Every structure is written in C-alpha cells, then in structure tokens.
Amino acid sequence: MDISALSTPTQMILAMVMFAILLAWLIVFATLAFRTEPEPESQELWDEQPTPAHSFPAVTVQAGRRNILN
C-alpha cells in the first residue's frame, strides 16, 4: 500500500501547519521555563510591597434567595 496515495495535499498542508504550531508552542514555553531570575532591584521592590493584614473573601456580598413556593 502506497502511503502517498492516501494523503491529499490538503492533509499535508494541515499536518505541516499543526507541526509548526507545535514547534512554536514548544519554543515559547521552553523560553519561558528557562528565563533568568528577575533583576535584584526589581525583586527588592517586589518584596517591599505591602501585603494585607488578613485575607478577605472573594465574594463580599451574598445574594438573598427568594422562596418561590411561598
């Protein structure tokens, strides 16, 4: 069975595009994974930022429910 007879030009283009997307994804995330630490000056500025004294809820207002049956 000849494999080239089973693949059309459209399928080959689609396969090449998907392979290019995969390579681009690998390059982007490898670059993000291996990037260097932030500069010491910016890290010191980040460490000096104030933090809240206590946590606060994500939902601050509770919606009241209506009783449909009454």
Q: Mean pLDDT by 10-residue block, N- to C-terminus, for the chain (70 residues)?
A: 70 92 96 77 74 70 58
Q: What gap in Å lies between CA 48 and CA 40, rounded to an integer?
A: 12
CA–CA distance, 38 with 45 (Å, rounded to integer): 11
Q: What is the pLDDT of residue 45?
A: 76
For 60, the enclosing helix (H) or strand (E) is none
Structure tokens at 2: 């000849």
Backbone angles phi, psi at 49, to 5 degrees: -70, 140
Residues 43/37, Cβ–Cβ less than 8 Å: yes
Q: End-to-end alpha-carbon separation of the chain, Å? A: 73
Look at residue 70 in the predicted model and tell me its pLDDT: 53
What's the confidence (pLDDT) of residue 3? 64
